[in-house]
Amino acid sequence: MMEKRKLRIGVIGCGAISVRRHLPEYAGRADVEIAAIYNRTRAKAEAVAERYGGRVCGSVEELVSMDLDAVSVCTANTAHAHDSILALRAGKHVLCEKPMDVTIENCEAMVREAEKAGKLLMIAQNQRFSSAHVKARELVEQGAIGRIISFETKFGHSGPERWTGTEDTWFFRKSAAGMGALADLGIHKTDLIHYLTGEAVTSVYARTATLDKRYPGGGLIDVEDNAWCIYAMDSGMTGTMHVSWTDYGQEYNSFVLHGTKGSIRCYDDREYSLIMETDDGKTDFLSTEGMLTNADQTIGTGKDQHSGVIDEFVECIQGTRPCRCSGREALKAMRVIFAALRSSADGRLEQIPENRV
């Protein structure tokens, strides 16, 4: 029997998310070969190649011109569309880190190029793959807590400078990141709202603020370090989201769904990450794999850091499962994030008519 050919993967960018997730999870699969690496700082790419193999490329263009099946895009937010579109036009499947990009026009262009090329564009919304969230979705679909009425979600930690290793991280610069905590954390929870409820946000009222994060010189950073959003769907379902880079101490990651027959609570608890309470007075403490915290995935905590993102991407390419977070699916959450920024700037409710189906 002929041995199945390995998928040849190129990785663009060698920052923390690349080194902690993409590269080790690809390397952990017997059906994948890391064939090409690019980073603006060549020494980083060379160090990665020494550990994982692969040709070190001098440019994104050189990498996508190679005989590759797929590419991971792990660059700064403002480069996501550029690098993804180059790869798609070169006939490669693309796994792009979140957020898709920093303008809605670029996000839409990414989706168009993927569909034109007939290639998979997947966005790395890893919170969809948490066992607690997968179980919560199953319970919602089974009607375990009735019709969802409202939700609340919070995601906060002490800031990206803690795991990038520099107080002057690119996350703090609008020229590289485009936005702050909304792009880093808010996109996770907004996408998760869509995944767990089965509905898309169609209006938002938001406030963003820069309260504490500063450049080494002392001035406040030029992107938001906190954001508060009130989200609503056409069904009437309404909820809140708070994301923060100023939660000093233990990271906080939660999602609560309230239905007509009970509630589901998802927390980053190591023992019970999902609790279901129903109107008959019953409480179920469900022991699932603890959620991966930001620290697990960026600085390493000794916990198994397997996110499921790479498995999903590889198996979608192989045709063994459908993609749970395609570019078109992720586009719905990006529309909400951009609407939240407009709402904060204008001080008014913003509608998202494109999310109405």
Q: Which residues are catalytic?
A: 98
Q: Rounded distance, CA 271 to CA 281, Å? A: 22
Q: Rounded distance, CA 244 to CA 263, Å? A: 24
Q: Rounded distance, CA 83 to CA 76, Å? A: 10
At a CB cut-off of 8 Å and minimum separation 6, what does 244 contact?
154, 155, 156, 157, 181, 185, 225, 226, 227
* Cβ–Cβ < 8 Å for 244, 188: no
Identify the three-state secondary structure at position 266. Answer: strand
Name beta bridge partners: 229: 206, 241
Nearest one of 166, 264, 172 to 214, comparing CA atoms = 172
**Could you tell me the CA-to-CA distances from 20 to 93, 130, 299 in Å, in that order?**
21, 17, 8
Identify the three-state secondary structure at position 71. Answer: strand
Q: Rounded distance, CA 321 to CA 300, Å? A: 29
Which token pair is 90?
A: 């070169």
